[in-house]
Amino acid sequence: MLLRLLLQAIFIVILPAAVQQNHPPQVIIKSPADNSEFTPAERVHYIVSVSDREDGESRFGEINKKEVLMQIANITMAGQEKRKAGDHGIDKGLIDMMRSNCLSCHSFDRQSTGPSFRQIFEQYKAQRSVLSRLEKRIQSGSRGVWGNQPMPSHPELSDDEIRKMAEWILFRAGKGEMQYYVGTEGFISFDSIRLKGSRNVYILSASYTDHGINGKNRLTGEYSVTISDSIGK
Ligand code: HEC
């Protein structure tokens, strides 16, 4: 009797927790290959695959492409040649913005419903005094600063998440050696982030944050490769 009760208790308490465990997504950059070279004039075709036990597989069209980020960092330009792919992760604030709804109204370089992140970066020129204003607007919403379109409030975000988002936009969004693409596939044009006359090394980092169990315990998968253009060889 006691044993049965005990087993029942185990069943009720432990099993659902085990069943509910969220698994991290597996993100892989299929192309370009790690350590590959290309000529500077070439556009490089990139392909990212995402596999997540709960959300599905990108190859079956089960992953929302808009939630897959590709970051390109020219580490030659940033003077960080010694860095390895693994060292150059994607900023936490940017990952949180991908998880939230920010990208539905903001893009990296083009004005859409809201100003692009680069426009905001250029407007405020990394002035630390602006940080709290940006935080307040992300949290409570904004209208009339850039035009008539309103930005909704984001009461679901913690202060820490908002701080990291605002810091990324204010201090990093327009950095010259960085480029961002959204989607599992595309063509990278290095023109705007290439140091002419030298051999450039780039770190490509892809990320995807899954949807967790009922939106909780969401996990991020990341993957990086290093590639270079062949000039100077
Ligand atoms: C429904 C569309 C929409 C969404 C979603 C949205 N924004 Fe905005 N955002 C806007 C618009 C429109 C403006 C310009 C508002 C204005 O003119 O006052 C703006 C302005 C901003 C600004 C500049 C504020 C300033 O003072 O110059 C920042 C920073 C910003 N958004 C960050 C974010 C972040 C971070 C998220 C996600 C958590 C987000 N936005 C989600 C539409 C949106």
Position 8 scores a pLDDT of 66
Cα separation values, 216 from 12, 22, 69, 97, 168, Å: 20, 9, 21, 16, 24
Domain containing 61: what range? 24-112+176-229
Task: Render pLDDT for 59-94 as a digit per residue (tens, 0 to 9).
Answer: 999 999 999 999 999 999 888 776 665 566 899 999
**Phi-psi sector, 190: left (phi>0), alpha (psi -120 to 50), beta:** alpha
Q: pLDDT tens digits for the chain (233 residues)?
A: 666 766 665 555 555 555 679 999 999 999 999 999 999 888 999 999 999 999 999 999 999 999 999 999 999 988 877 666 556 689 999 999 999 999 999 999 999 999 999 999 999 999 999 999 999 999 999 999 999 999 999 999 999 999 999 999 999 999 999 999 999 999 999 998 999 888 999 999 999 999 999 989 999 999 999 999 987 55
- Report how many domains make up the chain: 1
Helix axes 92-99, 159-167, angle to 10 degrees: 110
Residue 118 lies in a domain: no
Residue 166 lies in a domain: no
What does the alpha-carbon distance between residue 180 and residue 108 come to, in Å, rounded to a whole number? 7
103 C-alpha to center of ligand 1: Å? Answer: 10
Residue 216 lies in a domain: yes
What does the alpha-carbon distance between residue 221 and residue 189 come to, in Å, rounded to a whole number? 25
155 CB neighbour count, 10 Å cutoff: 8
What does the alpha-carbon distance between residue 113 and residue 162 come to, in Å, rounded to a whole number? 20
Residue 14 lies in a domain: no
Q: Does ligand 1 have an atom closer than 6 angstroms to the CB of 163?
A: no
Residue with CA at minimum distance from ligand 1 atom 11: 114
Position 52 scores a pLDDT of 98
Residue 82 lies in a domain: yes
Q: CA 184: distance to chain centroid?
A: 12
Q: Does ligand 1 have an atom closer than 6 angstroms to the CB of 100?
A: yes
Residue with CA at minimum distance from ligand 1 atom 37: 102
Q: Does ligand 1 have an atom closer than 6 angstroms to the CB of 146?
A: yes
Residue 139 lies in a domain: no
What does the alpha-carbon distance between residue 119 and residue 34 come to, in Å, rounded to a whole number? 32
Residue 17 lies in a domain: no
What does the alpha-carbon distance between residue 193 and residue 179 come to, in Å, rounded to a whole number? 8
Residue 191 lies in a domain: yes
